[in-house]
């Protein structure tokens, strides 16, 4: 239940309680006052009846004792002698004396003779009466007045209280709703500001607009909340700026280090290759060591190129947009994969017409190569891989879906959330066959995001699908215009290997193109 509803219900409940107390008190007070008035009238009626009995003479009382001067309509008079009823009468509205029935007289014989008023129900048309019993010589005289007027007044007041309480509830509900809404309006603005901040991407610096005055007035309860919220936003903004500066320093260091490492790595590779080729009379173990140095320098060079590419993508560089034949890129990547891994059957699922997108051909080719290499590297021989392109309808926003599907063993569900993180490896092994640095899928994610798209994965045993969704030309053009002015670095051209378990990037691929490779579809 919302705070507004709780406050309104609390106010309405308070009004109900107050109305109940006031109404109930009024009804009880009215009943008590009117009954006291009846008791006072009963005292005078008893005195008049006693005087009337005393004037009857030796023959005993007659019906006239029920009609002495001044008695009100409904006055009841009963004369008991030695426990027996001598007569019982009641004065009707016309002033006539009617004789009481035996069923009505019988309960009156139980009234205590103490001169005090008592309430008794006579039933029938008489109903409840207020009676008193007084001695008159050897006899007992019982006189009573009806309580019907009292109850009638009480019920009328009860109806009035109900109507007034109902109207008060309606008025209180409307007034409470308006008052609570007005009182909580500053809190609503604070909540709206918090929702706006919560919906902002806080992975980079952003202008966090806090709560404005008077919602941040520390003299009010809501103002204290607004002040604390503003202070929290200041801390968040400072932490974000500090983190961004730290990340910028790390990216700059990685870019500078990667750039500076390429030259010595090229020298190591060149000297190792030269020594291996010219050392005909070298011992076999030295020749083997030179080949290993050369091989590891190639692997390290690929890793450095991947790190440099990621650093440039983080800075918004390295992407050069142009019309790209995505169908041709897929066929080239599949041809390369056939040559590098003939033990994996690779099929394509392409539309009849070539699909063109707006993007960077070299980087998109690297995305496809990394995903295909990822599938064939981390699945057993014989696993079927399918690369497909599916244009999306313009009604749904347009764009293209590029999918790489395999029927391998699948990806561990616990590892899926961090699949595209850098240096993420489910297999901690660092062997060249099983382990990796975990950069390939990170490059895929960075390149796709630089194109304004997104990459996702679904996996279960026997069906793993990587889906790259590239936006349509209009969305890419808008994103490129927004990023205008950023430089573009040189591409690395290196293929990548990235597996479901590690996401490795970099590494040498197979032969460049094999359009004539047996069984591989050629470009349409």
What pLDDT does residue 422 have?
A: 75
Measured in whole angstroms, how far is the alpha carbon of residue 522 from the centre of its chain?
52
Asked whether residue 420 carries a pLDDT value surpassing 90, the answer given is no
The larger pLDDT score, comparing residue 420 to residue 431, is at 420
Mean pLDDT of 61-89: 71
Least confident span in 123-127, 151-155, 407-411, 478-482: 478-482
Mean pLDDT of 167-193: 83
Residues 357 and 473: beta-carbon distance below 8 Å:
yes
Sign of the CA dihedral with 260 first, then 261, 263, and 264 last: positive
Helix (H, G, I), strand (E, B) or coil at 97: strand
Percent of the chain with pLDDT over 90: 8
DSSP state of 58: T
Asked whether residue 96 carries a pLDDT value surpassing 70, the answer given is yes
Asked whether residue 43 carries a pLDDT value surpassing 70, the answer given is yes
Residues 449 and 483: beta-carbon distance below 8 Å:
no
The larger pLDDT score, comparing residue 449 to residue 398, is at 449
What pLDDT does residue 156 have?
A: 92
Q: DSSP string spanning 256-283? A: HHHHHHHHHHHHHHHHHHHHHHH-TTS-
What pLDDT does residue 479 have?
A: 55
The larger pLDDT score, comparing residue 50 to residue 493, is at 50
Q: DSSP string spanning 320-358? A: --EEEEHHHHHHHHHHHHHHH-TTS-EEEE--SS--EEE
Mean pLDDT of 139-144: 86
Asked whether residue 218 carries a pLDDT value surpassing 80, the answer given is no
Asked whether residue 499 carries a pLDDT value surpassing 70, the answer given is no
What pLDDT does residue 409 have?
A: 86
Instruction: Indicate the average pLDDT of the chain.
Output: 77
Question: How far is Cα 439 from Cα 94, in angstroms, rounded to an integer?
Answer: 112
pLDDT band at residue 210 using 50, 70 and 90 as cut-offs: low
The larger pLDDT score, comparing residue 519 to residue 93, is at 93
Question: How far is Cα 498 from Cα 507, in angstroms, rounded to an integer?
Answer: 10
Closest by CA position to 355, among listed 364, 346, 363, 345 = 364
Collect all residues with Cβ–Cβ distance below 8 Å to 431 and sequence separation of at least 6. Answer: none
Q: DSSP string spanning 226-257? A: HHHHHHHHHHHHHHHHHHHHHHHHHHHHHHHH
Mean pLDDT of 127-132: 89
Closest by CA position to 71, among listed 140, 145, 150 = 145
Q: Is 398 left (phi over 0), alpha (psi -120 to 50) or beta?
A: left
Mean pLDDT of 89-101: 77
What pLDDT does residue 488 have?
A: 38
Percent of the chain with pLDDT over 70: 79
Residues 386 and 348: beta-carbon distance below 8 Å:
yes
Least confident span in 60-74, 148-162, 210-224: 60-74
For the chain, the domains span 3-152, 319-482
Mean pLDDT of 385-414: 86
Closest by CA position to 519, among listed 371, 373, 335, 376 = 335
Asked whether residue 296 carries a pLDDT value surpassing 90, the answer given is no
Mean pLDDT of 37-63: 75
What pLDDT does residue 402 have?
A: 92
Asked whether residue 66 carries a pLDDT value surpassing 70, the answer given is no
Helix (H, G, I), strand (E, B) or coil at 132: strand
Least confident span in 73-77, 193-197, 349-353, 450-454: 193-197
What pLDDT does residue 493 have?
A: 34
Helix (H, G, I), strand (E, B) or coil at 120: strand
Residues 276 and 294: beta-carbon distance below 8 Å:
yes
Measured in whole angstroms, how far is the alpha carbon of residue 490 from the centre of its chain?
46
Least confident span in 35-39, 51-55, 203-207, 330-334: 203-207
What pLDDT does residue 426 have?
A: 60
Distances (CA, A) of 130 to 26, 34, 95, 139: 22, 12, 20, 20
pLDDT band at residue 495 using 50, 70 and 90 as cut-offs: very low
pLDDT band at residue 396 using 50, 70 and 90 as cut-offs: low
Cis peptide before 214 (omega within 30 of 0): yes
Residues 193 and 211: beta-carbon distance below 8 Å:
yes
In tens, the pLDDT along 347-376 reads 988 888 888 888 888 889 989 998 998 888
pLDDT band at residue 29 using 50, 70 and 90 as cut-offs: very high
Question: How far is Cα 63 from Cα 77, in angstroms, rounded to an integer?
Answer: 9
Asked whether residue 222 carries a pLDDT value surpassing 80, the answer given is no
Closest by CA position to 381, among listed 346, 408, 343, 409 = 343
Residues 119 and 113: beta-carbon distance below 8 Å:
no
Q: DSSP string spanning 157-189? A: HHHHHHHHHHHHHHHHHHHHHHHHHHHHHHHHH
What pLDDT does residue 517 have?
A: 34
φ and ψ of 86, to 5 deg: -85, -45
Distances (CA, A) of 29 to 165, 173, 183: 18, 28, 38
pLDDT band at residue 490 using 50, 70 and 90 as cut-offs: very low
Asked whether residue 275 carries a pLDDT value surpassing 60, the answer given is yes
Distances (CA, A) of 215 to 64, 180, 211, 231, 335: 85, 16, 6, 13, 65
Tell me how far apart the 2 most distant CA atoms of the chain are, in Å: 168
Query: Which fold, 319-482?
Result: Heat Shock Protein 90 (3.30.565)
pTM, entire model: 0.48
Query: Which fold, 3-152?
Result: Beta-Lactamase (3.30.450)
Question: How far is Cα 293 from Cα 52, in angstroms, rounded to an integer?
Answer: 141
What pLDDT does residue 56 have?
A: 65
Mean pLDDT of 245-250: 76
Asked whether residue 251 carries a pLDDT value surpassing 90, the answer given is no
**Tokens 């490779």 -> residue:** 517
Residues 262 and 269: beta-carbon distance below 8 Å:
no
Question: How far is Cα 16 from Cα 5, in angstroms, rounded to an integer?
Answer: 16
pLDDT band at residue 500 using 50, 70 and 90 as cut-offs: very low
Asked whether residue 436 carries a pLDDT value surpassing 90, the answer given is no
pLDDT band at residue 69 using 50, 70 and 90 as cut-offs: low
Asked whether residue 264 carries a pLDDT value surpassing 80, the answer given is yes
What pLDDT does residue 516 have?
A: 30
């Amino acid at each position: 239940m919302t705070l507004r509803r709780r406050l309104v219900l609390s106010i309405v409940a308070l009004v109900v309680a107050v109305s109940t107390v006031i109404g109930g008190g009024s009804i009880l007070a009215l009943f008590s006052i009117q009954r006291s008035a009846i008791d006072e009238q009963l005292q005078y009626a008893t005195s008049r009846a006693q005087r009337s009995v005393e004037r009857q003479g030796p023959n005993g009382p007659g019906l006239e004792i029920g009609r002495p001067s001044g008695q009100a309509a409904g006055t009841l008079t009963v004369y008991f002698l030695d426990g027996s009823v001598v007569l019982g009468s009641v004065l009707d509205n016309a002033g006539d004396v009617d004789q009481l029935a035996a069923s009505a007289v019988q309960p009156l014989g139980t009234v205590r003779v103490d001169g005090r008023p008592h309430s008794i129900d006579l039933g029938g048309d008489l109903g409840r009466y207020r009676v008193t019993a007084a001695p008159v010589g050897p006899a007992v005289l019982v006189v009573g007045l009806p309580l019907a007027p009292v109850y009638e007044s009480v019920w009328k007041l009860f109806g009035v209280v109900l109507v007034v309480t109902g109207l008060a509830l309606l008025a209180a509900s409307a007034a409470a709703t308006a008052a609570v809404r007005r009182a909580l309006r500053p809190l609503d603005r604070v909540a709206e500001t918090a929702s706006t901040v919560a919906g902002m991407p806080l992975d980079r610096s952003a202008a966090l607009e806090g709560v404005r005055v008077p919602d941040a007035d520390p003299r009010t309860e809501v103002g204290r909340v607004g002040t604390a919220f503003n202070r929290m936003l200041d801390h968040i903004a400072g932490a974000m700026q500090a983190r961004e500066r730290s990340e910028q320093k790390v990216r700059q260091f990685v870019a500078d280090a990667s750039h500076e490492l390429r030259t010595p790595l090229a020298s190591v590779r060149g000297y190792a290759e030269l020594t291996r080729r010219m050392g005909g009379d070298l011992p076999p173990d030295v020749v083997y060591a030179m080949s290993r140095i050369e091989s590891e320098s190639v692997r390290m060079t690929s890793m450095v190129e991947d790190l440099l590419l990621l650093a440039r993508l983080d800075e918004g560089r390295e992407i050069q947009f142009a019309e790209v034949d995505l169908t041709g890129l897929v066929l080239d990547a599949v041809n390369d994969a056939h040559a590098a891994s003939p033990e994996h059957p690779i099929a394509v699922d392409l539309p009849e017409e070539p699909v063109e997108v707006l993007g960077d051909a070299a980087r998109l080719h690297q995305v496809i190569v990394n995903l295909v290499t990822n599938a064939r590297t981390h699945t057993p021989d014989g696993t079927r891989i399918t690369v497909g392109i599916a244009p999306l309808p313009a009604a749904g926003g347009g764009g293209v879906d590029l999918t790489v599907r395999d029927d391998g063993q699948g990806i561990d569900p616990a590892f899926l959330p961090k699949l595209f993180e850098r240096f993420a490896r489910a297999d901690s092994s660092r062997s060249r066959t099983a382990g990796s640095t975990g950069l390939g899928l990170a490059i895929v994610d960075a390149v796709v995001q630089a194109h304004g798209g997104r990459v996702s994965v679904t996996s279960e045993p026997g069906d793993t699908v990587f889906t790259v969704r590239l936006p349509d030309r209009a969305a890419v053009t808008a994103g490129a215009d927004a990023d205008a002015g950023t430089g573009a670095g040189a591409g690395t051209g290196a293929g990548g290997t990235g597996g479901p378990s590690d996401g490795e990037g970099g590494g040498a691929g197979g032969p460049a193109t094999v359009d004539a490779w047996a069984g591989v579809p050629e470009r349409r």
